[in-house]
Amino acid sequence: MVRIRIDRLIEERDSASELRAGRFAVWTSSGRRGARNGQAAPADEGAGEPAEKTEKVGRMKSMHAEIGDTVRFSKTVAEADVYLYAGITGDFSGNHVNEEFMKNSIYGHRIAHGALVVGFMSTASTLMVDRSLSQGIDSTPVSLGYDRVRFLNPVFFGDTINVTYAIKEVDTERRRTRARVDVHNQNGTLVAVAEHLLKWVKNETAESEAA
């Protein structure tokens, strides 16, 4: 029985090695499918081009995101928005929910949470993702986080914020994009800025890892 068990373990190990090799072939075949399990990838129109160039173009098409791509989002920040956010997060700072307290401050009125403003940045990133999804990408874009977030001016109840989300870098090797996010109020005052990273996770990779 022990010998049979050892033989099975060896077979499972060899099968796993072959599977991993098949997966690697899929991802190094210039974005073409059909290289799994040792099968050759079908030829395409770019077969005569250098492999590196073909692969890069394929990745960009699968992401449908290029430098300069821009989306915009506008929202009037109501009292209800701030109170709902405070209730969800538990952040009931007087800065956000106590009008009498804020009357005696330099601001004079309650202000929205900075993190709520970041949430509106996230809404803009979703618009960018939706635009790419509408073009038939083979990826699941997920947020890697925000860098250089700064809250430059307060957002008061009743302000209308305008978010501009513009892609400024595309890393095809790592399948990532970096965008600059600017938030202005109705008077054109810059109230917040940030940089946002998206990772475009290829769906076939996720399916292979789950198998």
3-state SS, the chain, equals CHHHHHHHHHHHHHHHHHHHHHHHHHHCCCCCCCCHHHCCCCCCCCCCCCHHHHHHHHHHHHHCCCCCCEEEEEEECCHHHHHHHHHHHCCCCHHHHCHHHHHCCCCCCCECCHHHHHHHHHHHHHHHHHHHHCCCCCEEEEEEEEEEEEECCCCECCCEEEEEEEEEEEECCCCEEEEEEEEECCCCCEEEEEEEEEEEEEHHHHHHHHC
On whether the CB atoms of residues 96 and 86 are closer than 8 A, the answer is: yes
- Report how far residue 117's alpha carbon sits from residue 142's, in angstroms, rounded to the nearest whole number: 19
Place of tokens 């997060």: 89
For the chain, report the end-to-end CA distance as a whole number of angstroms. 29
Rounded to 10°, the helix 203-210/2-27 angle is 180
- pLDDT at position 110, please? 98
CATH fold group of domain 70-210: Thiol Ester Dehydrase; Chain A (3.10.129)
Strand partners, 199: 142, 176
Domains in the chain: boundaries = 2-48, 70-210
pTM for the whole thing? 0.68
- The pLDDT mean for the chain works out to 79
Query: Residues with Cβ < 8 Å from 204, sequence gap 6 or more?
Result: 26, 33, 138
- Report how far residue 168's alpha carbon sits from residue 163's, in angstroms, rounded to the nearest whole number: 16
- pLDDT at position 61, please? 54
Using alpha carbons, list the distances in angstroms from residue 121 to 115, 124, 134, 144: 10, 5, 20, 14
Segment among 41-50, 63-72, 74-83, 145-154 with least mean pLDDT = 41-50
- Whether 35 has a pLDDT exceeding 50, the answer reads no
- Whether 81 has a pLDDT exceeding 80, the answer reads yes
- pLDDT at position 139, please? 84
